[in-house]
Structure 1
Amino acid sequence: MIKSGRKWRNWSGVVTATPETVIYPLHIDEVAGIVKRCREEGLKLRVVGSGHSFTAIAASNNVLLSLDRMQGVLHVDHEACTVTVWAGTKLRILGELLHSEGLAQENLGDIDVQSIAGAISTGTHGTGVAFGNISTQVIGMTIVTGTGEVVDVTEKAQPELFKALQISLGSLGIIVQVTLRVRPAYKLRYDSSRVPLSSCLEQLDSLARGHRNFEFYWFPYAEPCQLKMLNETAEPVTPNKLGGYVSEVVLENAVFGALSALCRRLPRISPSVSRLCAAAVPTSSKVDYSHRVYATKRLVRFNEMEYNLPIEAMEPVIREMRERMASEGYRVHFPIECRFAKGDQIWLSPAYGRDSAYIAVHMYRGMPFERYFADMERIFLQYGGRPHWGKLHTLKARELRAAYPMWNPFHEMRRRLDPDGVFLTSYLQELFVE
């Protein structure tokens, strides 16, 4: 146990907390004891991973619990292609550990600093119409409930609890171990190209369904957009070249970071910087093992809002966003990220019951984002949008209940597993309690 008093900040710096205590347990029994103590003393407990959520989902002014000392692979079943890991294992570490066993996850997002438990709890996703979010790869979990009970959960044995736990915002219990369905290691060919946004939208369905993983970035006030395609390949791994380093680290981070800092000082130049960045989109390709291709270095910090939409809404929403940007003239230069995901039956998944599009808007850290995000959110909501749980949004319990068919059963489960609200911080009360 480490006494605190120091301020905790999330990755972007938009969320802060001053926990009384920060704890780094080493084993499950210790986690259970901490939960029981918090329950007895009426303290609010949250688990913090890498702090990569943009909301206050991990914040607590009472007790923060980190699983950073509970990382690594516990068991590998090569015949069944499953692996059990400590829940604090960071995705970057997990990728290399699986690779050493000749295995890999079937899909990942473009950031790999999160813990596997954090990625599961917030509905983290990659892109690809054939793939669900990372939670759909889970086949079993061990949790510590709000009463300190240790419970093993599988879909076959406890189907309702399992569907509630797959995305739970950490409100049902502390996930301490995760069993994942994996696959043999594979290589991906990454291709980046630049096309007019109008051309991208005309070919949207064929692009999304014609590649294993497809996403695109479009820039406010600019016509060119970036297409990113990933496809499995047997080609040899591309040697590390200076050009790749210059593109990924120097241009996408150092130069973009300098331009972003300039936009913060001189916001009026943001549209011009956006057009400059659009014109500089690289045309390139590379081959590497999957976990090394999915991840993108993110050294320039920002705030983000992302919404899930019915897949057919992608094109009309983008056209409406463009019209609103033209009329309002927001001072923004960050591109908009557009991805796809297969629908699922996870109770609190934004992709529940529908094949989905995801659209994410960003603003450089330190620049005002409220009006821009609010206007984009209104458009998303007109098309049945559901917010990503780890990204900024303004919805409260009443609006969320209307968006999720399994909302009431989820909360019945939550009250059963955490009857005293140990995990129910003020931020979660805003989301869950009307």
Structure 2
Amino acid sequence: MINKGCRWSNWSGIEKAKPRTVLYPVHIEEVVEAVQMCRREGRKLRVVGSGHSFTALVTTDDIMMSLDNMQGVLETNPAALTATVWAGTKLKALGELLHTEGLAQENLGDIDMQSIAGAISTGTHGTGLSFGNISTQVIGITVVTGTGEVLDVTEQSHPDLFKGLQISLGALGIIVQVKLRLRPAYRLRYESSRVPIEECLKRMPDLMVSHRNFEFYWFPYAEPCQLKTMDETEEPETHRGIGGYVSDVLLENAAFGVLSKLSKWIPGMSAPVSRLCAALVPTGGRVGHSHKVYATTRLVRFNEMEYNLPAEQMANVIREMREAMAHGKYRVHFPVECRFAKGDDIWLSPAYGRDSAYIAVHMYKGMPHERYFADMESIFLKYGGRPHWGKLHNLTAERLRDAYPMWESFHELRRRLDPDGIFLNPYLIRIFGQ
């Protein structure tokens, strides 16, 4: 299927494009044909997932490709605890499909709308110091390179290529299939509580190791923060029913949406709104299947910056951020999200070589975010921060090269697999410096 002259925007609306053509391949052969056509005609091609990245990662005025017609599970092996899936498969659907086979991913983030290829290509992660980002769950990748070659890649067959492809920003080729390492399906008990931010920071070293998954949200200009923990359990699933869904999802998002619009219309209300939201943090818990408990419904749209930092620096960074906010008078009411991840050896992973903390700052869609994000970014960089590839940042190749030990190795690989630069766009040229 081909769609000509369409308009595209990402989830928050901050990135827009009018590609000349949008392709919807159904088979790998059609992906190969598209790449070969780009080589012959000197065209550029970017692959789009669900548009949940905030950067211009896929923005193009030439050819855009969607893998929405290449979704589903190709093969499961319950004995080996693996599954091979089409790259366009959305995480929400994937969770359900795996669950019917008695399988599950070991960890996920709190958004499940992304495609599996988009999630791994940008380093999407959940929380928990025992778990790496979603890319660490990948054990095999089928990719169409910039020369039209189809490669089946594993760490054993192509060690360097595999480490490059696990997080590649779509710059090494078009991922068409992914093989995942899984585990038996499991249930989680989720608990939410409200504590002062300083108490949270003091308890943080214990909370990080005493819970399977631990994260917290703290609110600018407020003392209370929200603690979230998840632990495996044999308890039966909690059934919320339609009333619980309306209360927990629809009403909560609607109320926050109204408060967000108020903050946009009257910026001086941002601090009082933040304090009100902190005071209303929900307490309590529920039990559910893992893929359902991880996911959070987000109906209020925003823009986001997220940085990876050495895990041991989390408290220092937050205290410095709070001090900056006390003097900066930023018009922000969205909470700051704080999570953790195990270090890895993936070449472009923000968690490369270190157990990590992730800190994400948000601004309601349509409200100015530039000064707030830039000032927080300067703090993150002071402590060795690396940006999440799907979130806003201001870095270019010079700074990024110093942050990633395998930076040059990745680009040697990119030049070999995409010699004509088919997969480059202006944003990638800016951050790659070539």
CA shift, 1:43, in A, is 1.0
Q: Note the 1:404-415 alignment, pairs <5 A.
A: 404-415=404-415
Q: Structure 2 vs 1, CA of residues 193 and 246 (structure 1 numbering), >3 Å: closer, same or farther?
A: farther
| 2:345/2:353 contact within 8 Å kept | yes
Give the Cα separation in 1 of the matches to 2:256 and 2:104. 31
What does residue 280 of structure 2 align with?
Answer: 280
TM-score when normalising by structure 1: 0.99
Shift of 1:157: 1.0
Match of 1:159 in 2: 159
Matched with 2:105 is: 105
Please tell me whether the aligned partners of residues 6 and 21 of structure 2 are also in contact (alpha carbons under 8 angstroms).
no
Aligned mates of 2:81, 2:378 — CA distance in 1: 43
1:241: how far off? Answer: 4.0
CA contact under 8 A between 2:104 and 2:182: conserved in structure 1? yes
1:46 alignment partner AA: R
Q: Secondary structure at the match of 1:203?
A: helix
Q: Which residue of 2 aligns with 1:25?
A: 25
| Structure 1 residue 239: Cα displacement | 1.4
Q: 1:140-170: CA deviations, max 9, x gaps?
A: 0000000111010000111111001000000
Q: Which moved more, 1:343-352 or 1:156-165?
A: 156-165
- Equivalent-residue separation in structure 1 for 2:58 and 2:73 (angstroms): 24
Post-superposition offset of 1:274? 0.2
SS in structure 2 opposite 1:254?
A: helix
Per-residue displacement from partner, 1:384-408 (whole Å, max 9, x unpaired)?
A: 0000000000000111000000000
What does 1:108-119 correspond to in 2, within 5 Å? Answer: 108-119=108-119
1:389 alignment counterpart: 389
Secondary structure, aligned partner of 1:225: strand
CA deviation after TM superposition for structure 1 residue 42, in Å: 1.1
CA deviation map 1:11-34 (0-9, x unaligned): 000001110000100000000000
Query: Is 2:292 the partner of 1:292?
Result: yes
Misfit runs of 4+, over 3 Å: 241-244
Return the alpha-carbon distance in structure 2 between the equivalents of residues 307 and 252 of structure 1. Answer: 27
Identity %: 71
Match of 1:182 in 2: 182
Q: CA deviation at 1:340?
A: 0.1
Cα deviation digits, residues 255-307 of structure 1 (max 9, x gap): 00111011111111000000000000000100000000000001000000000
Distance in 1 separating the partners of 2:232 and 2:349:
27
Number of aligned positions between the proteins? 434
SS in 1 for 2:161: helix
Does the aligned pair in 1 maintain the 2:307–2:380 contact within 8 Å?
yes
What is the CA–CA distance in structure 2 between the aligned matches of 1:282 and 1:109, rounded to whole Å?
20
Is the contact between residue 217 and residue 227 of structure 2 (CA under 8 Å) also seen in structure 1? yes
Tell me the equivalent position of 1:41. 41
Q: What secondary structure is seen at the aligned counterpart in 2 of 1:19?
A: coil
1:13 matches 2:19 = no
Paired residue type of 1:8? W
Match of 1:235 in 2: 235
Spell out, residue by residue over 1:157-205, the C-alpha distance to the aligned partner (whole angstroms, 9 max, x if none).
Answer: 1111100100000000000000000000000000000000010000111
**Against the structure 1 CA distance between its residues 313 and 251, is the aligned structure 2 distance closer, same or farther, given a 3 Å change threshold?**
farther
Deviation at 1:243, TM superposition (A): 6.1
Give the root-mean-square deviation of aligned CA atoms: 0.9
TM-score when scaled to structure 2? 0.99
Counterpart in the other structure of 1:86 = 86
CA distance in 1 between counterparts of 2:350 and 2:246 reads 36
Shift of 1:59: 1.2
Partner Cα distance (2:243, 2:332) in 1: 28
Structure 2: where are the runs of 5+ without partners? none
Q: What SS is found at the alignment partner of 1:227?
A: strand
Relative to structure 1, the CA distance from residue 382 to residue 243 in structure 2 (aligned partners, 3 Å threshold; closer, same or farther) is farther
In 1, Cα distance between equivalents of 2:394 and 2:253: 29
Structure 2 equivalent of residue 348 of structure 1: 348
Alignment of 1:327-366 (within 5 A): 327-366=327-366
Matched with 2:129 is 129
Q: CA offset at residue 214 of structure 1?
A: 0.3
Q: Deviations along 1:61-87, whole A, 9 cap, x unmatched?
A: 100000000000001111110000000
Report 1:365-380 matches (<5 A). Answer: 365-380=365-380
1:248 deviates by 2.5
Q: Which residue of 2 aligns with 1:222?
A: 222
Q: CA deviation at 1:249?
A: 1.4
Q: Which runs of 5+ in 1 are unaligned?
A: none
Secondary structure of the 2:126 match is coil
Whether the 8 Å contact between 1:247 and 1:282 is mirrored in structure 2 is: no
Distance 2:230 2:270 in 1: 30
The residue number in structure 1 matching 2:427 is 427
